[in-house]
A = this chain, B = another copy of it.
Amino acid sequence: MSDNGPVAGYDKHAYEPFAVTVDLAVFTLRAGRLHILLVERGHEPYAGRWALPGGFLEPHESAEGAARRELAEETGLADVAGLHLEQLRTYSEPGRDPRMRVVSVAFAALVPDAPQAHGGGDAARAAWLPYGTQGPLAFDHDRILADAQIRVGGKLEYTCLATAFCPPEFTLGELRQVYEVVWGTDLDPANFRRKVLATPGFVERVPGASRLTGGRGKPAALFRAGDATSLHPPLLRPAHEPTERPRR
């Protein structure tokens, strides 16, 4: 952005051009497992491999705009406007695409329990796969996906992001399951409930309504996502390995 680069006059074609793309890690919760949206590549390189959905930036759009457009095309969802879409980071290592220099802005998207995936506008096959079963992906998409999963898991701790996985109305048990599935841990239902309700604006009660929770158990109250976005104090993930702490 400064003029300290080698080109002072911005000769548009003097240098090897960079292609700029977006890649999307689209997560959903289905059948109690974290799923990820993937497309199958039709040609080389990596023909037949799964890859993250994505595509080129068009001249008039920002990376966020391109990501939301791709999200709509690949998921087939009608109202893509309300979905959570978050820029992750940009991957720019030379050689990450063998054909040319591609700089890719990666995004993470969170969608409620998903409609059928379909191959977007073109012939590529698209599918929701349980996270962890996807095998090696094309390009550096394994790394992007891993980075995305870490980011999403971390953001659950200090944001109200978890509601993005839920339908418009949900029970606290469903909300708790979001944390349990993404973190791979169990949470105490009683303490979770207190914690969520003690955070103003995290969720709000839907008056009157309640939902039977799959047959078993007492019917649960329904909640909507509130207008809060951050979680103070945070909802900390249980310590994975209990830290051996020296006492004085």
B59–A3 CB distance below 8 A: no
Q: How far is the CA of A13 from the CA of B11 in the complex (A)?
A: 13
Q: Which of A26-34, A205-213, A231-239 contacts B (4 or more CB under 8 A)?
A: A231-239
Whether, in the assembled complex, A227 has its beta carbon less than 8 Å from a beta carbon of chain B, the answer is: no
**Shortest beta-carbon distance from A49 to chain B in Å:** 11
Q: Which of B12, B19, B105, B122 contacts A92 (CB 8 A)?
A: B105
Count this chain's copies in the assembly: 2
Whether, in the assembled complex, A78 has its beta carbon less than 8 Å from a beta carbon of chain B, the answer is: no
User: Which positions 29-70 of chain A face chain B at CB distance < 8 Å?
Assistant: 39, 41-43, 51-64, 70
Q: How far is the CA of A207 from the CA of B207 in the complex (A)?
A: 64
Q: How far is the CA of A41 from the CA of B10 in the complex (A)?
A: 15
**B residues in contact with A5, CB < 8 Å:** 21, 55-56
Whether, in the assembled complex, A200 has its beta carbon less than 8 Å from a beta carbon of chain B, the answer is: yes
Which residues in A have some Cβ–Cβ distance to B below 8 Å?
A: 1-7, 10, 12-13, 15-21, 23, 39, 41-43, 51-64, 70, 73-74, 87, 89-90, 92-94, 97, 99-105, 120-122, 124, 138-139, 141, 198, 200, 232-234, 236, 239, 243, 245-246
Known: A2-B52, A10-B19, A63-B103. 17 other contacts (CB 8 A): A1-B55, A2-B54, A2-B55, A3-B41, A3-B124, A4-B53, A4-B74, A6-B56, A10-B100, A12-B16, A18-B103, A20-B92, A64-B92, A87-B89, A89-B89, A200-B246, A233-B236
